[in-house]
Amino acid sequence: MKLNTGERWDLIDRISKETVTFGAYRHTLKDAIGELTVKPMTGIPVAIAVMYGFWSVFGSFAGFFTDGFFVRLFDAYWLPWLQEVFPGQGEWLYAIMVDTGGIESGEFVLSSNCLESFGVLTSGLFVAIGVVLPAIIIFYLMLALLEDIGYMPRLAVLLDTVLHRVGLHGYAIVPTILSLGCNVPGVTATRILETKKQRFIMMTLLAIFIPCGAQIGIMQDVVPDLMGWILLYLIIGYFVFGYILNKIVPGKAPEFLIDVPPYRRPLLSNIGKKVGGRVRGFFVVAIPFVLLGCAIVGVLYQLGVIQFLGDTLAPVFVGWFGVPKETAGPLIAAFLRKDLAVAQLSAITMTPYQMITAVVLVSIYFPCVATFAMMLKEGWKELIGSLAVLAVVVFTYGGLIHLIGILLGVA
């Protein structure tokens, strides 16, 4: 027997009256802190402080290990060793696997760092292990800590009113934050939402506007000064297009019931299991696609496909989006790994505003193939609908960002 929303609440009320007994209650300090972090007046400043601390630790930890250790390891030892021992310098296989290099005065010149070499064994491994892995570990460690303490349900309560504007409810913050680590578990987590409308809106917004931890890690490394603007454009797009989808997608967006547990001491065993499982998933899912992406893009460059696409799409890239035609290559790579695409963008000569536009385009252009596969599992009709929305968003929002740059005189 199906019950409507009112009947469900009536049933819950009857069951609670028959099963719940109330004893003496002692208001503790922990209870007081829990209440302060739920009430908007005090909870919102706490949430801002928590997110600021989250971001500060994330950036410091990832930057420390990437710049302080992995850059030196890969650029000073791994890259020169591979450039020396790998046979066929200057040939197509060498370019794909080790170093595309360049030609100066008729001679082949080797790249000086892994980020510019674009080889499977150089850029591919450096991006995956040297940049993304530290970012993923610290992100999932901090997320697991917040989950185990009991803060995430309180954050959901605080954001409930705001997320209702886009047809969602507070608990949508869970797939959103998970997607900041990886879009794949984020799409899976949309199953906690009650209606098809909410799941469709959430899955679409995740695929378009939420950068994964790998992409954020690369942005932190190659365009740290522009990250604020890039994330601002993505956040604005998330709410603006979410609001539009809420108005045009049929269906209901009901209220939600969530248990807000008391704050508890985190357990190292719980945190270890969560972080270990998620990091193992990164090794299984992400690293193969990073290496495959490097290989495919390298082959396309060698065959001249990237050059052809750049020339063909030049009117769209240059005229509508305001970015160089060379961004065609990174956009193709973005289907396999968006973090790899951002790394490739850093090697293209652009103005700061063009770089902001290009990175936003990479973010909203298309879900990576792993996310694409997960969305397909959720339903092919929903996938087609999300891709249709994505196509409209890319051309509309990309052109709007370019127009804003023109009006501000920075494009």
- DSSP string computed for 168-219: --GGGHHHHHHHHH-HHHHHHHGGGSSSHHHHHHHHHHHHHH---HHHHHHH
- pLDDT greater than 80 at residue 181: no
Higher pLDDT, 336 or 189: 189
For residue 256, what pLDDT is reported?
A: 66
Please check whether residue 19 lies inside any domain of the structure: no
Q: What is the mean pLDDT of the chain?
A: 82
* Angle of CA points 333, 337, 343, to nearest 5°: 70
26 domain-assigned: no
Domain that holds residue 337: 41-258+288-408
In a domain, 276, yes or no: no
Give me the DSSP letters along 16-69: HHHH---------HHHHHHHHTTSHHHHHHHHHHHHHHHHHHHHHHHHHHIIII
**Integer Cα distance of 169 and 151 in angstroms:** 17
Q: What is the pLDDT of residues 369-378, one digit of tens each?
A: 667 777 777 7
The winner for highest mean pLDDT among 107-111, 190-194, 310-314, 406-410 is 406-410
Asked, for residue 67, whether it belongs to a domain, the answer is: yes
Q: What pLDDT was estimated at residue 249?
A: 86
Q: Which two tokens stand for residue 53?
A: 């601390």
29 within a domain of the structure (yes/no): no
Residues of the chain with pLDDT > 90, as a percent, come to: 8
Is 280 within a domain? no
User: How many other C-beta atoms can be found within 10 angstroms of the C-beta atom of residue 214?
Assistant: 29
Closest to 234 (Cα-Cα) out of 270, 276, 278, 180: 180
Distance in angstroms (rounded) separating the CA atoms of residues 9 and 5: 6
Residue 53 lies in a domain: yes
pLDDT in tens, 379-404: 778 788 888 888 899 899 999 999 99
Per-residue pLDDT for 105 more than 60? Answer: no
Name residue 102's beta-bridge partners. 109
Q: How many domains does the chain have?
A: 1
Domain membership of residue 386 (yes or no) is yes
